[in-house]
A and B are shown apart, each in its own frame.
Chain A
Amino acid sequence: MNAIELNNITKTYTTKNNIINAVDDISFSVDEGELFGLIGPDGSGKTSIFRILTTVLLADKGTATVMGLDVLKDFKAIRTIVGYMPGRFSLYQDLTVEENLNFFATIFNTTIQENYDLVADIYKQLEPFKNRRAGKLSGGMKQKLALSCALIHKPKVLFLDEPTTGVDPVSRKEFWEMLKRLKTQGISILVSTPYMDEANLCDRIALIQTGKILEIDTPQNIVNRFDKNLYAVKSKSMFNLLNDLRAYSKTESCFAFGQYHHLVLNEKYPDINELKSYLKNHTEIEIELVKPGIEDRFMQLMKK
């Protein structure tokens, strides 16, 4: 059985001015025990997918199941077996850390003690602050508390909608380590993120843009589909270099990428010497063939 399955799910919103296809005929499935990532920018439809799967939003078309339960018919059963962490950390700001966790434990008919082993790892870091109000915690701590609250009833499937947005890199890294450990407990996890570098930490990912899936596969396979040579180029004056590279007749695309510019040329076997002589005005030039990342592939797919 698949932990999650979506078949041709479509959701449209009508606003005053226009009709928005938030989710446009999306199908995919997540295996049991899998860590599956939805990777895409704001407004790509990630949140709508989460809400449909957690039964708080009805799709216009298509069917979806969670642990074999239909999101429409069996919504009550689904609500007892999933853990959900919505986009904003849904905590009670005026309750303390401990009160928040206690509250979420009771509404799921359980206690902190009963499932402590599951959250112990995460909650231990929060325990020194257990009498602090949630509103006074930093972003990283709120995120850990929200995750503990979503886990406290030992859900079979965990839905995490942008758990790392607005959180600093250290906390983000710790968060992903926690997810990996949860996976070993057999919990299936659907997670979304706008940070492409986090995609590599998932078993499989779906790249998603304007309600459509661009590609689904393991991060490695997705990177492998980048079928062109990718060059990292650097010089003393990066701004001029960017303009010059874009003006180059054989350039297919060029984007700033860290301390380099990532350049794709429109020939199968590009002549790098020719490029070098084109850039003769620049000093301290470096041109290197590099391995593409998820983000390179995402941009390639967007351009198509």
Chain B
Amino acid sequence: MAEKEVVIKTNKLTKKFGDFVAVSEITFEVFKGEIFGFLGANGAGKTTAMKMLIGISKPSSGTANIAGFDVYKNTESIKKSIGYMSQKFSLYEDLTIKENIILFGGIYGLNDYDIETKCNGLLEKLNLQNDADKLVNSLPLGWKQKLAFSTAIFHMPKIVFLDEPTGGVDPITRRQFWDMIYEAAHNGITVFVTTHYMEEAEYCDRVSIMVDGRIEALDSPENLKKQFNAATMDDVFLMLARKAKRGD
């Protein structure tokens, strides 16, 4: 197998808040075009780790390199080469669909011509040409999430970070969403995703499971199931997460 290009590389990355070690010496690599699942119970340190990776929280120690940039020195460059979508905030509800796309294109420094052509292409792909001037808040939740994902990868980032992207949508929309994730990965965008749906963990090429701030397991879903002698990822997760000592 040819040497895979590494887009995320951490070495003993740690974050402390006073005496509390939120993230403890995590070391892992993520490859280009990979769908990487980042799992963990509430309070295991996922969000803190993710914040360090996207350059909005300074690590206490250890190193991390994101898309070729250092998390200590080049946070601005990191932000330009990644996309981010969270469940809580993704789009401006009181702007139209088109205005949102243009806004995010502008934020990431695309020129007007690129924005215009890519925007039309995107609307066509999502089948939203006739709704381009509708306010985002008039869209059903599932559509909002699809649109949010599309804007997160609008500037063709190297990596896209998704923080529980599919909460609360119906099963068909959720799968349509994953179709888009597959396609993005197929086009070479690395997808880094957190989720509470263990079945979604199985869509990932590799998953890591965090317990008490450490990465307790990291492999493909298939290998993990073998390793823990479990039928489903759900069982793997439960086995690991139950070991947690931290106050839940």
Contact = CB atoms under 8 A, between A and B. Distances in A.
Interface in A154-202: 165-173, 194-197
Given A42-B168, A167-B196, A256 B238 contact: no
A194 B167 CA distance: 8
Contact of A170 (B171, B179, B182, B241): B241
B170 A141 contact: no
A41 B169 contact: yes
Interface in B192-229: 196-199, 202-203, 221-222
A278 interface: no
A44 B171 CA distance: 12
A41 B40 contact: no
A31 to B, nearest CB: 28
A242 B199 contact: no
A91 to B, nearest CB: 15
Given A42-B141, A194-B168, A239-B182, A257 B199 contact: yes
Nearest to B173: A41
B13 to A, nearest CB: 22
A242 B179 contact: yes
A100 interface: no
A262 B167 CA distance: 21
B142 to A, nearest CB: 8
16 contacts: A41-B141, A42-B169, A129-B247, A138-B248, A141-B247, A166-B164, A169-B198, A170-B244, A171-B248, A196-B171, A239-B182, A242-B179, A257-B175, A259-B221, A299-B172, A302-B170
B18 interface: no
Interface in B108-147: 138, 140-142
Given A141-B248, A169-B238, A41 B179 contact: no
Interface of B: 40-44, 138, 140-142, 164, 167-173, 175, 178-179, 182-183, 185-186, 196-199, 202-203, 221-222, 232-234, 237-238, 241-242, 244, 247-248
A139 B42 contact: yes
Interface of A: 17-18, 40-44, 128-129, 137-141, 165-173, 194-197, 209, 238-239, 242, 255-259, 295, 298-299, 302-303
Nearest to B196: A168
Given A167-B42, A168-B42, A239-B185, A298 B248 contact: no
Residue among A195, A257, A259 having the largest count of chain B Cβ atoms under 10 Å: A259
B172 to A, nearest CB: 5
Top 10 closest pairs, chain A to chain B, by CB: A42-B168, A41-B170, A258-B202, A168-B41, A139-B42, A138-B43, A259-B202, A170-B241, A239-B182, A255-B175
A141 to B, nearest CB: 5
A67 B168 CA distance: 30
A20 to B, nearest CB: 11
A100 B43 CA distance: 22
A40 B172 CA distance: 12
Contact of B175 (A172, A238, A256): A256
B172 A170 contact: no
Nearest to A41: B170
A239 B141 contact: no
A172 B197 CA distance: 11
B203 A258 contact: yes
B199 A169 contact: no
Nearest to A262: B175
Contacts of A239: 182-183, 185-186
Given A169-B196, A171-B42, 19 more contacts: A40-B170, A42-B169, A43-B141, A128-B247, A138-B43, A166-B164, A167-B42, A168-B41, A168-B42, A168-B44, A169-B234, A170-B237, A170-B242, A239-B183, A256-B178, A258-B232, A258-B233, A298-B170, A299-B171
A44 B42 CA distance: 26
A37 to B, nearest CB: 15
Contacts of B141: 41-43
